[in-house]
């Protein structure tokens, strides 16, 4: 993202603009869209339509997401802009005025509407600390109503008690509905739209293979995936097969082009019963499970959930190692291929995300947040609720037993035995026989000479000694794991961790694996094998 090429965009609509529009027409309810970019099964749209016969759908471009503070790559922003144009069409298709675009601090913009007599409704969502503060202020200062309806549990002291049953009954409920014929959809021409924002902030994506955003493309993907769902279980793990074999719905779910419930209903009604269907449905639950975690504690984005792991690896921060990982120059071909693929396309399958996070934290032993932020920047589906919670889980910052560590060489042998993925993204290894792609540094010099690959010159040696780093990590992590498990007995830590079994599960981990003295005695059993 570049810097604005012109004068920065003004905060719009101006106070007078809102007042003028309101003087000639009665007021009503503003629907403040954020990451729920659809008009169907949308609790905020339904609530607004139930309260008033006049609604004004609004999206506010927040400069914090666009200027140097922004955490999204240009490709994710362009995907968002596609979704907005599509939302604008959704409103026009039901006879409305389309989406009103605004620019500025959302609270300043909303205040102008509230001062002119409008009410405001938004869909409640799980966010990090910035979003939570913004929403609290919107509620307290402006009376914004947040309509819940995303299946997450908000009204319980212990959200995890009976959680699955509650999500299941939410999934079975009828979608939120409204009748466009009974509501006038109003709009204000503010002079702001996605094109103007793109030009003003110099948004220009260089990524390739990025899907088009919006509900139309999302529905098409959902229909096509449902047809081939029987092949899903066999397509998940390999980075080659997963590209077309998983649903590809993550960016659409992230921006709410479809609700999780709509996806569930479509698959439930139309897909044949079988392993593919049940595995996919369980992933929709995972989506809700990780999002519930962020709702339960907004700190997942900033600090290790288990205080014992705060600052772990910080003393080893090595910017050169971090740069090698980010740029795909670690000397571990599966990591390098994945990291280059992430940077160029903004997507990786689950296993490769987990592998890259594991190698970053467990082998390169670098501070987790820098890695998680890098993923968040480049993923088109970058979702704070899933990315940061998954990072902390994969790194082992929760304190649960059974940490999984991925072996990047085994992943080549298991998931890419012909080297299709590795050589696509690391073309300098293309001449090497596939049998050497798991550990190119072990290729006999005669073979290297013969094919014209020189490890150390054309492709790096591994940036760390894998075996030594792995055992060093085991020792360091094992030494504090007992203390970390013991902290799960602390109710405030257990609440933050938001385990699927609730506080009871956290207490049993503490009882079975905790070692409050922290001498590591009980901890080695907590470490899973390298996979």
Q: What are the binding residues for FAD?
A: 232, 246-250, 280, 381-383
In the numeric block, the tokens 């709009």 are attached to 187
Which of 242, 232, 239, 459 has the alpha carbon at shortest distance from 341?
239
Q: Does 390 bind ligand FAD (CB under 6 A)?
A: yes
Tokens 């869209």 belong to which residue?
A: 33
Tokens for 280?
Answer: 């996919």
d(CA 359, CA 378): 18
Return the range that interacts with ligand FAD (CB under 6 A); candidates 203-211, 380-388, 444-452, 511-519.
380-388
Smallest separation, CB 436 to ligand FAD (Å): 28
Q: By CB under 6 A, which span of 78-86, 171-179, 200-208, 286-294 interacts with ligand FAD?
A: 286-294
Q: Is residue 350 part of the contact set for ligand FAD (CB under 6 A)?
A: yes
Q: Is 286 in the site for ligand FAD (CB under 6 A)?
A: yes
- Cα torsion 209, 210, 216, 221 to 10°: value is 60
Shortest Å, Cβ 357 to ligand FAD: 4
Asked if 201 and 4 count as a contact pair (C-beta separation under 8 A), the reply is yes
Near ligand FAD by CB under 6 A: residue from 246, 330, 365, 423? 246
Q: Considering the complex, what minimum distance in angstroms separates the CB of residue 393 from ligand FAD?
A: 8
Is residue 301 within 8 Å of 132, Cβ to Cβ?
A: no
Nearer to ligand FAD, 57 or 251 (CB): 251
CB of 76 to ligand FAD, least distance (A): 10
Bridge-partner residues for 275, per DSSP?
none
Tell me the longest C-alpha to C-alpha distance in the chain.
83
Tally the C-alpha atoms within 13 A of residue 518's C-alpha that lie toward its C-beta: 8
Beta carbon of residue 135, minimum distance to ligand FAD (angstroms, whole number): 20
Cβ-based nearer residue to ligand FAD, 18 or 395:
395
Note whether 250 binds ligand FAD by CB under 6 A: yes
Q: Residue 22 and residue 339: Cα distance in Å, rounded?
A: 51
- Under rule CB under 6 A, residue 394 binds ligand FAD: yes
Q: Could you tell me which stretch among 1-9, 16-24, 387-395, 473-481 binds ligand FAD (CB under 6 A)? A: 387-395
Q: Segment contacting ligand FAD (CB under 6 A): 15-23, 353-361, 459-467, 507-515?
A: 353-361
254 scored as a contact of ligand FAD (CB under 6 A): yes
Q: How many residues bind ligand FAD (CB under 6 A)?
A: 27
CA distance 97 to 95: 7
Q: Tokens at residue 98, please?
A: 């389309």
Q: Report if residue 386 touches ligand FAD, rule: CB under 6 A.
A: yes
Strand partners, 30: 56, 120
CB of 359 vs ligand FAD, minimal distance in Å: 11
The reply to whether 353 sits near ligand FAD by the rule CB under 6 A is: yes
380: contact with ligand FAD by CB under 6 A: no
Residue of 156, 392, 433, 185 lying closest to 295 (CA atoms): 156
- Interface with ligand FAD, residue 379, by CB under 6 A: yes
Task: Give the phi and the psi of residue 152 in degrees, each rounded to 5.
Answer: -80, 155
Q: Which is nearer to ligand FAD, 267 or 308 (CB)?
A: 267
- Of 381, 407, 416, 438, the residue at the interface with ligand FAD (CB under 6 A) is 381
In DSSP notation, 389-455 reads: HHHHHHHT-S--S-EEE--HHHHHHHH-TT-HHHHHH-GGGTTS-GGGTT-GGGS-HHHHHHHT--B
Residues annotated in the binding site, as ranges? 232, 246-250, 280, 381-383
Nearest to ligand FAD of 103, 353 (CB atom) = 353
Q: Which is nearer to ligand FAD, 65 or 350 (CB)?
A: 350
Beta carbon nearer to ligand FAD, 103 or 160:
160
Does 349 interact with ligand FAD (rule: CB under 6 A)? Answer: yes
Query: How many Cβ atoms sit within 10 Å of the Cβ of residue 482?
Result: 24
Tokens 């006999």 — which residue?
A: 444
DSSP tag of 9: P
Q: What share of the chain is helix, strand, coil (3-state, %, to 5)?
A: 55, 5, 35
C-beta of 102 vs 357, nearer to ligand FAD: 357
| One of 99, 253, 364, 486 touching ligand FAD (CB under 6 A) | 253
Residue among 72 and 432 whose Cβ is closer to ligand FAD: 72
| Helix (H), strand (E) at residue 341 | helix 333-345
Rounded to the nearest whole angstrom, what is the least distance from the CB of residue 239 to ligand FAD in the complex?
10
CB of 66 to ligand FAD, least distance (A): 20
The verdict on 369 binding ligand FAD (CB under 6 A) reads no
> Which helix (H) or strand (E) element contains residue 227?
helix 215-227
First to last CA, the chain: 38
Residues that bind ligand FAD (CB under 6 A): 246-250, 253-254, 283-284, 286-287, 290, 349-350, 353-354, 357, 375, 379, 381-383, 386-387, 390-391, 394
């Amino acid at each position: 993202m570049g810097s604005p090429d012109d004068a920065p965009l003004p905060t719009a609509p101006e106070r007078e603009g809102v007042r003028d529009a309101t003087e000639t027409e009665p007021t009503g309810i503003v629907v403040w869209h954020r990451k729920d970019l659809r008009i169907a099964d949308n609790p905020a749209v339904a609530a607004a339509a139930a309260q008033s016969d006049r609604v004004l759908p609004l999206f506010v471009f927040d400069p914090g997401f666009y200027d140097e503070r922004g955490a999204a790559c240009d490709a994710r922003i362009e995907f968002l802009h596609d979704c907005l144009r599509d939302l604008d069409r959704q409103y026009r298709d039901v006879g409305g005025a389309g989406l009103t675009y605004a620019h500025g601090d959302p609270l300043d913009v909303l205040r102008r509407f509230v001062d002119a007599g409008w009410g405001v409704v938004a869909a409640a969502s799980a966010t990090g600390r910035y979003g939570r503060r913004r929403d609290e202020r919107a509620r307290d200062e402006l009376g914004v109503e947040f309509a819940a309806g995303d299946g997450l549990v908000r009204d319980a002291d212990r959200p995890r008690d009976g959680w699955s049953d509650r999500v299941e009954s939410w999934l079975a409920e009828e979608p939120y509905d409204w009748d466009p014929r009974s509501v006038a959809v109003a709009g204000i021409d503010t002079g702001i739209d996605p094109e103007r924002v793109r030009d003003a902030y110099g948004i220009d994506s260089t990524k390739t293979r990025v899907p088009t955003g919006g509900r139309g493309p999302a529905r098409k993907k959902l229909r096509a995936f449902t047809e081939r769902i029987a092949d899903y279980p066999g397509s998940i793990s390999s980075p080659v097969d997963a590209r077309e074999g998983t649903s590809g719905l993550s960016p659409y779910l992230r921006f709410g082009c479809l609700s999780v419930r709509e996806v569930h209903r479509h698959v439930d009604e139309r897909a044949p019963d079988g392993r593919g269907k049940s595995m996919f449905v369980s992933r929709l639950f995972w989506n809700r499970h990780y999002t519930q975690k962020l709702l339960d504690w907004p700190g997942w984005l900033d600090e290790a959930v288990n205080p014992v792991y705060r600052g772990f690896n910080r003393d080893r921060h090595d910017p050169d190692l971090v740069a090698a990982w980010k740029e795909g120059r670690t000397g571990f071909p599966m990591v390098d291929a994945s990291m280059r693929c992430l940077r160029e396309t903004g997507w990786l399958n689950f296993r490769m995300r987990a592998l890259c996070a594991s190698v970053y934290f467990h082998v390169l032993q670098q501070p987790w947040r820098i890695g998680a932020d890098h993923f968040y920047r480049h993923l088109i589906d970058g979702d704070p609720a899933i990315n940061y919670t998954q990072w902390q889980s994969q790194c082992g910052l929760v304190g649960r037993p059974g940490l999984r560590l991925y072996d990047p060489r085994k992943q080549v042998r298991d998931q890419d035995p012909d080297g299709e993925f590795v050589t696509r993204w690391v073309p300098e290894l293309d001449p090497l026989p596939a049998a050497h792609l798991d550990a190119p540094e072990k290729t006999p010099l005669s073979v290297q000479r013969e094919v014209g690959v020189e490890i150390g010159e054309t492709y790096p040696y591994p940036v760390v000694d894998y075996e030594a780093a792995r055992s060093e990590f085991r020792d360091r992590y094992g030494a504090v794991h007992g203390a970390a498990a013991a902290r799960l007995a602390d109710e405030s830590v257990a609440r933050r961790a938001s385990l699927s079994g609730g506080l009871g599960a956290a207490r049993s981990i503490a009882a079975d694996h905790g070692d409050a003295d922290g001498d590591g005695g009980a901890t080695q059993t907590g470490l899973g094998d390298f996979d």
